[in-house]
Chains A and B, each alone.
Chain A
Amino acid sequence: MQIIATRPKTLTDLNFTYCPGCLHGVAHRLIAEAIDELGMRNQMMGVAPVGCSVFAYKFFNIDMQEAAHGRAPALATGMKRARPDMHVFTYQGDGDLAAIGTAEIVHAANRGEHITVFFVNNAIYGMTGGQMAPTTLPNMKTTTSPYGRDVDDIGYPIRVCELLDSLVAPYFIERVSLLSPAEIMKAKKTVLKALQYNKEERGFTFVEFVSTCPTNWGLDALESRNWARENMLPFFNVKNYRDKGKEA
C-alpha cells in the first residue's frame, strides 16, 4: 500500500474550527504543504491574527505567536530581528490587516522585513458576525452596512496589493483566488514562490487570497464562490504585482 495523500507535517492533527464551505482550511493547507515541500518547517515560525483564524497558532505545527488585532507584522518584525536564522510568516484577515493593522502592514512592507504575509480577503468580518470590512464591496450589505456600503459615506474598499505595490521595498506581491480547484493549484505555486523567496532571504513577500464567507454572506459553499467570482474578482484583480526575482 502506498500513501498518496496525508496531512502535511506543518499541520497539527486538531480539527479546524472553520465553518462549512470556508476556505481558511484550504489556505492553511497550501501554506503547510509549501513549508513541508521547501523543507522549512524546522526553521519556520508563524504569527496568528485576531479574527476567524485566531486559532491558527494551534493548527500550524510550528512555533507560533498570537498577535493582538492587526499587530502581526510588528510581532513578525520583532521575531525575525530576534531570530534572523529563522523564517517568519503572518496569516491575517481583511479587518486585521487592512483596518486596525494598516500601519503595521504598510511599515513592515516598507522596511522590507524578511517575512511572508498571507492575507485572506473575504470582504467581511467573520468572527464577530459579519460586519463591514475595509474590503467590503460597494453596496454590499453587512450587519454594520445594513443598507449596503455607501461609498460616499464610508469610502471604497481598499486594494491592499495595489497599495503595497506603491512602496519600493517589497520583493513579491501577488493576489490569487481560492474559488476553484484550478485556482487553488495556481495559488499553491504562488505560495511556494513567496516562501522560496522567504527561505532565500530576498525580502518582504505578500500573498493575498480572494476568499469567501458563506456563513456571513448567507450563501452556501458553491453560491459563495460564484458570488465572489462575479463580485470580488472584478474589483480585486488576480495577478502578480511585483516579482523582483523575475526582474533580476
Chain B
Amino acid sequence: MSEKVLMKGNEAVAEAAIRAGCRLYFAYPITPQSELIEYMARMMPKVKGTFVQAESEIAAINMVYGASGCGKRVMTSSSSPGIALKQEGISYMAGANLPGVIVNVQRGGPGLGDIQPAQGDYFQATRGGGNGDYYTPVLAPSTVQEFADMASLAFDLADKYRNPVLILADGLLGQMMEPVEFQPYKTEEELKVLDNQHLDWCCCPNEDEPNHHHHEINSLEIDPVVLEQHVLKLGRKYEEITRNEQRWEDYDVNADNEILVVAFGTASRICKSAVDDLNAAGHNIGLVRPITLWPYPYDAVAKAVGPKVKKVIVFELNLGQMVQDVKLAVNGKVPVEFMGKVGGILFTPEEVLTKIRENL
C-alpha cells in the first residue's frame, strides 16, 4: 500500500479506477460528480488512456457499451438525472452480457431536484433501472476509502459476471475529503492479462484465429423461444451473484441488542455516531450496513435481529426505499420503523439518537 493522501471521493474513485486498469472513460459533466470527469480528463492522457467528453449521458453510456464490447475495462460516471438517462445503455449492456462500471454520485430528486447528497436512486439502482428483466450489482460506499476500494471490486465483479456494476455514492462522499490509501497501479503484464481476458467473445481481429466465428455483441433475440432461454440464463447469473456476492458490515451487532439500526452509505455514517453515543451511555444498539444493495444481504439483516431486539429502525436519505427490503428480511418478526430526510438534507446524529431513544 502507498502512503495516505487527502482526496475528494470523486477524485479518489477516479484514481482507483485507473489503478485498477481502466483506460477508457466516457462521461458528461454534472454536479456533484464534476471532479470525477475533470480528474479523468487530466489523468487519462498521462497513462495513455482515453478520455472523451460525450455529447450526452446517452452517448457516454453507449461509448461504454462499444468499448466494453471490445473487451476493455471502461467506466462512466454521473449523478442522478444523468444516471436516469443512461438506463437505456445499462439495460442493453445487461442484455448483451457486457461488463462496465457506472458511478452514481447521487443528488436530490426527482427531476432536476438539487445538487445536495441524497439516496433517492435506491429503487432505480437495485431494481434494474432500465427496461426488461435484469439486475446490476450495486456497491454502496460509506467512506472515501471504501469508495476508492470499490472501483477495483466493481471492475472485478463486472469482468467475472460479464455484467454492468454500479457504485452508488452520493454528493457527500463525492465532495468530502478523507485520507485514502491506494492499491498499486496494475503492471504492464497485469494490464495485458486484463486486455486479453474477453477475447473469446468480444470484438477483436480475426486473423489470429483461422476458425474465428464472428462475434456478435447483441441484446436482440427476435425469436421468443430463443429470448426465453437467453433471459433464463441471465436469471441464473443473477442467482449466482446473489449466492456469492452479498456484502455487509455488522456494527456492534450482538445477542443483547435492544434496537437494530439498518442504514447504508452516508446515512450509516451518521447513524454510527448516534449508536456510539447510546452504547457509551449503557444501551445496546446494533447496526447493519448493507454494502451490496443488490444482491441485498437479506439473511444478514434477518440474522442480526437478535432475541432481545424490540424494533428495527431504518435510516435513509429518501422517503423509505430500502425499508421494503428490510421488511422482507425481518419478515414480520419485529416492527420496522423508518426515519428519512429528503431534498438533499441530512439528519444530524442527534436526530438519529432521539429517534432511537424514542423506541427504547
Question: Which residues from chain A sit less than 8 Å from chain B, CB to CB?
Answer: 12, 41-43, 45, 47, 54, 57-58, 60-68, 71, 74-79, 81-83, 85-86, 103-104, 106-107, 111
User: Known interface pairs A45-B203, A74-B54. Does A64 touch B214 (Cβ–Cβ under 8 Å)?
Assistant: yes
User: Known interface pairs A45-B203, A78-B24, A83-B70. Does A65 touch B65 (Cβ–Cβ under 8 Å)?
Assistant: yes
Question: Which residues from chain B sit less than 8 Å from chain A, CB to CB?
Answer: 24, 26, 50, 52, 54-56, 58-60, 62-72, 74, 88-89, 92, 96, 202-207, 214-220
- Bound: A73/B288 CA distance, A: 45
* Cβ–Cβ < 8 Å partners of B70 in chain A: 45, 78-79, 82-83
* Cβ–Cβ < 8 Å partners of A65 in chain B: 65-66, 69, 203, 216-218
For the complex of A and B, the 10 pairs showing the least CB-CB separation, nearest first, are A78-B66, A74-B62, A75-B66, A78-B63, A78-B67, A107-B55, A82-B70, A82-B67, A63-B203, A42-B207
**Complex partner residue of B66 from A41, A43, A82, CB under 8 angstroms:** A82
What's the nearest-Cβ distance from chain B to residue A232, in Å? 29
* Cβ–Cβ < 8 Å partners of B74 in chain A: 78, 82
* Cβ–Cβ < 8 Å partners of B63 in chain A: 74-75, 77-78, 81
Question: Can you report 15 A-B residue pairs in the complex whose CB atoms are below 8 A from each other?
Answer: A12-B214, A42-B205, A45-B70, A47-B66, A61-B214, A62-B214, A63-B206, A63-B216, A65-B66, A74-B59, A74-B63, A77-B59, A78-B65, A81-B50, A106-B55
- Bound: A106/B56 CA distance, A: 12
Closest chain B residue to A106 by CB distance? B55
Closest chain A residue to B217 by CB distance? A65
* Cβ–Cβ < 8 Å partners of B66 in chain A: 47, 65, 74-79, 82
Closest chain B residue to A110 by CB distance? B55
User: Known interface pairs A65-B66, A75-B63, A78-B74. Does A83 touch B203 (Cβ–Cβ under 8 Å)?
Assistant: yes
By secondary structure, the A interface counts as: helix
Closest chain B residue to A85 by CB distance? B205
What's the nearest-Cβ distance from chain B to residue A65, in Å? 4
B24 touching A81 by the CB < 8 A rule? yes
- Bound: A143/B282 CA distance, A: 74
* Cβ–Cβ < 8 Å partners of A60 in chain B: 214
- Bound: A106/B55 CA distance, A: 9
* Cβ–Cβ < 8 Å partners of A103 in chain B: 55-56, 58-59
**Complex partner residue of B204 from A66, A71, A83, A104, CB under 8 angstroms:** A83
A66 touching B203 by the CB < 8 A rule? no
* Cβ–Cβ < 8 Å partners of B207 in chain A: 42-43
Closest chain B residue to A61 by CB distance? B214
What's the nearest-Cβ distance from chain A to residue B160, in Å? 20
- Bound: A79/B202 CA distance, A: 11
* Cβ–Cβ < 8 Å partners of A85 in chain B: 205
What's the nearest-Cβ distance from chain A to residue B85, in Å? 12
- Bound: A238/B206 CA distance, A: 35
* Cβ–Cβ < 8 Å partners of B69 in chain A: 65, 75, 78-79
* Cβ–Cβ < 8 Å partners of B88 in chain A: 68
- Bound: A83/B66 CA distance, A: 10
* Cβ–Cβ < 8 Å partners of B204 in chain A: 63, 83, 86
- Bound: A86/B204 CA distance, A: 8
User: Known interface pairs A47-B66, A104-B62. Does A79 touch B203 (Cβ–Cβ under 8 Å)?
Assistant: yes
A78 touching B214 by the CB < 8 A rule? no
* Cβ–Cβ < 8 Å partners of A81 in chain B: 24, 50, 52, 63, 67
Most buried by A among B74, B217, B220: B217
Known contacts A74-B58, A74-B63, A78-B63; 5 additional CB pairs below 8 A are A62-B206, A62-B214, A63-B203, A75-B66, A104-B62
- Bound: A82/B70 CA distance, A: 7
- Bound: A127/B131 CA distance, A: 21
User: Known interface pairs A78-B63, A78-B66. Does A66 touch B216 (Cβ–Cβ under 8 Å)?
Assistant: yes
**Complex partner residue of B59 from A79, A83, A104, CB under 8 angstroms:** A104
A67 touching B62 by the CB < 8 A rule? yes
User: Known interface pairs A78-B65, A78-B66, A82-B67. Does A43 touch B214 (Cβ–Cβ under 8 Å)?
Assistant: no
* Cβ–Cβ < 8 Å partners of A12 in chain B: 214
* Cβ–Cβ < 8 Å partners of A67 in chain B: 62, 65
* Cβ–Cβ < 8 Å partners of A83 in chain B: 70, 203-204
What's the nearest-Cβ distance from chain B to residue A57, in Å? 5
Closest chain B residue to A113 by CB distance? B52
